[in-house]
Structure 1
Amino acid sequence: MKTHKNKNAFYPLLLAMTAGLGSAQAAENMVVVGYGGAGQKAQDAAFFQPFGTADGSPLMQSEYNGEMARIKVMADTGNVDWDVVQIEGPDLARGCEEGMFERLDWNQLGRADQLIPDAAQDCGSAALVWSVAIAYDTDKLAQAPASWADFWDVQKVPGKRGLRKRAVYNLEFALLADGVKVEDVYTVLGTREGVDRAFAKLTELKPYIQWWEAGAQPPQWLASGDVVMTSTYSGRVAAAAQEGHHLALVWPGSLYGMDYWAIIKGSQHAERAKKFIAFTNQPDAQVNYVEHIPYGPTNKQAAERLDPKLAKWVPTSPQNLAGALPMNVEFWVDHGEELEERFNSWAAK
């Protein structure tokens, strides 16, 4: 998942690296790219392997942290060695506008009426509903945090905090820690004073922050005691808890949104990629996925069929949505690049 840092500086290097790949390499097998870790293992079990079996040809898979510059090089040069990528909503919207992704024909794909609102986009199909929340180890923290204000309170609970190394999520959490109500976060963040306020709040915590970039890191850091609490993707912690680790989530003040499947412009496997996306939207496939890692399903029929035991971990369960903040994708499309640049400059100081 993603950073725009030094995007222009990386572009010539990536262009040189990609230009030599040639189209023959990309033509052999369809490549699906996710974010690795437990999430991708669940995708492999629920989507990649079953689709490959049904379609008669295995998929190749890779992983990344959301580097949009690499995707842009592929789309611009036509040397596309990835086909389907998992991507966040703001990056999907920007990439769609810039012509980096194939546009989808939902009359061809079908099932759009079964999907939750905003799942069916011009250039993407929602892969899952995620949530970013506070996580902690119940064996190591005597008093559970209840809010982002508690997360910021290093006097009450000394020790390192884990945060993702991006502006997105952290600016929202900083305002919540500073007393802004959930319903007012994006109104405040939409002003220069609000952005300054968020960065000032982050500066207070900066000496205590351990930055994570891969989704697998937060549960590992909690288990090892490197941090006392951390922001995290809910599904990662749920998977770790199901494996026996004593981890818990704080749902009030969590932020939720969707990741999407998108097909890179110029993919030589575009038609097969569309079949893959249609496969992942089937209720049976999504129930299988959520049983492997409890992110929220995007097919409403799948949601109705989930085992109630999974409900406490699924972001879209009513009890977990109470007090949660929906990501404002439009805000991050409009302001994401400038805020990420400011964040990268601030983080480097």
Structure 2
Amino acid sequence: MKRHITTAIAGLATITIGSTVAAQEITVMSFGGAYGASQMEAYYKPYMAETGVKIISVDADNPAIPVKAQVEAGNVTLDVVDLEPSDVVRLCDEGALEVLPIDDLPDGADGTPARDDFVDGTLYDCAVGTIVYSTLIAYRADLTNAVTSSADFFDLENFPGKRGMRKSAKFALELALMADGVAPADVYDTLSTPEGVDRAFAMLDKIKGQVVWWEAGAQAPQLLADGEVVMTTGYNGRFFDAMVEEGQPFTLFWPHQILDFNLYAIPTGAPHKDEAWKFIKYATDTTRLASQATYISYGPARRSSAAMVGLYKDGKTEIAPFLPTYPDYVADSLTTSIDFWADHDIELSERFNTWLVN
């Protein structure tokens, strides 16, 4: 499988810049909502103003689905798509994404070569990372004791009350192992063994009767806001929005956060692939990635962007301490392993779903 960036790929053509007439417009598909709004402000509007190229913004719950359908039908209308890493790997393997000339990406503003500037896990053969987000623990300090360890999430005696968790093996099993003392660097090696899997489920057993399972990202902060749970896992950006925009009394616990990414890619056969690549290079430079953090609390995929991150759009909130890439948080974090889940997702999801009903 084509997981992370390689230097050459036999049998696959890389985009050749300048092979078509300059486009007057491109179509970009992403996930919409506050995230899509941040892309509009940080990427789309400046690009249109500087180049005169119109960007048609299209939303989808999961852009990977229309990409696959369009490529298979031979009727591709999308030029740039925003994807999750697992979909990048799968679609690239299937030949549904263009292989990109990664060495064409601009260096960081501080001169760091692009290959060294992007956060680990955000450059692929067929995609370039834009944002880093995380799943982490949030709690109500007015309803429970201060959380000082991920183990506290599984301690009902000293931290009584219901927990919120995503209804998925992914993230739940990793957090369970870290809470049981497994270092982030050893999580996936441990989870690759039957004993490690048993160990993770043994931790989940401790709180099973007190868990409220959520499936949509908006549910986690709502459960916490309503007091239905005293602590929950969830996406850092969702918690930040609730705290800053709604004044919710949440406290975020950053150690053992689980990092994940979003990336830009070009569908195979995109009608304006050259302009699409120009846009991706523009959107993923140091300045533009730092600019997006003004509008949403996701970390830039480039290290050189960190020094440029300033205030949130409210003009008063320092955004850096709310980003998963904040230096104080990274050392204790875990980066989700696409390789691991590509190999073990089916078996662990089956066991998790069986565990839920027993």
Instruction: Give your verdict on TM over 0.5.
Output: yes
2:294 to 282, 291, 302: 291
Deviations 1:76-99 (A, max 9, x none): 333445543333323322332222
Distance 1:333 1:115 in 2: 23
Aligned residue for 1:268, secondary structure, equals coil
Counterpart position of 1:314 = 323
1:78 to 74, 81, 84: 74
Aligned residue for 1:265, secondary structure, equals coil
C-alpha deviation, 1:347, in angstroms: 4.1
Structure 2 CA distance for partners of 1:283 and 1:67, relative to 1, 3 Å:
closer
Aligned residue for 2:223, secondary structure, equals helix
Distance 1:165 1:265 in 2: 33
Deviations 1:134-156 (A, max 9, x none): 01233x32412222321122333
TM-score where L is the length of structure 2: 0.78
Q: Which runs of 5+ in 2 are unaligned?
A: 1-24, 108-113, 312-317
Counterpart position of 1:13 = none
Distance 1:292 1:84 in 2: 21
Distance 1:70 1:61 in 2: 11
TM-score where L is the length of structure 1: 0.80
Structure 2 CA distance for partners of 1:282 and 1:181, relative to 1, 3 Å:
closer
1:155 to 150, 154, 157: 157
2:83 to 80, 87, 91: 87
Distance 1:286 1:212 in 2: 30
More helix by share: 1
Structure 2 counterparts to residues 99-114 of structure 1, below 5 A: 99-111=95-107, 112-113=114-115, 114=117
C-alpha deviation, 1:69, in angstroms: 5.3
Counterpart position of 1:50 = 46
Aligned residue for 1:222, secondary structure, equals helix
Structure 2 CA distance for partners of 1:58 and 1:82, relative to 1, 3 Å:
closer
Kept after mapping to 2: 8 A contact 1:129/1:296: yes
Counterpart position of 2:256 = 253
Structure 2 CA distance for partners of 1:321 and 1:115, relative to 1, 3 Å:
closer
Structure 2 counterparts to residues 1-349 of structure 1, below 5 A: 30-34=27-31, 36-56=32-52, 57-64=54-61, 66=62, 68=64, 71-80=67-76, 82-111=78-107, 112-113=114-115, 114-138=117-141, 140-243=142-245, 244-307=247-310, 309-347=318-356
Structure 2 CA distance for partners of 1:215 and 1:273, relative to 1, 3 Å:
farther
Counterpart position of 2:14 = none
Aligned residue for 2:322, secondary structure, equals coil
C-alpha deviation, 1:207, in angstroms: 3.0
Deviations 1:264-286 (A, max 9, x none): 33333433332331121122222
Distance 2:50 2:352 in 1: 45
C-alpha deviation, 1:187, in angstroms: 1.7
C-alpha deviation, 1:30, in angstroms: 1.0
Kept after mapping to 2: 8 A contact 1:48/1:59: no
Deviations 1:107-151 (A, max 9, x none): 44444344334432211101112221101233x324122223211
Structure 2 CA distance for partners of 1:339 and 1:272, relative to 1, 3 Å:
farther
Kept after mapping to 2: 8 A contact 1:236/1:293: no
Counterpart position of 2:21 = none
C-alpha deviation, 1:307, in angstroms: 3.0
Distance 2:355 2:80 in 1: 33
170-179 or 70-79, which deviates more: 70-79
Aligned residue for 2:130, secondary structure, equals strand
Distance 1:217 1:47 in 2: 28
Distance 2:261 2:276 in 1: 19
Kept after mapping to 1: 8 A contact 2:140/2:224: yes
Structure 2 CA distance for partners of 1:274 and 1:203, relative to 1, 3 Å:
farther
Aligned residues: 320
Distance 1:226 1:81 in 2: 44
Larger Rg computed on CA atoms = 2
- Percent sequence identity is 39
Deviations 1:315-338 (A, max 9, x none): 222211232223233222332343
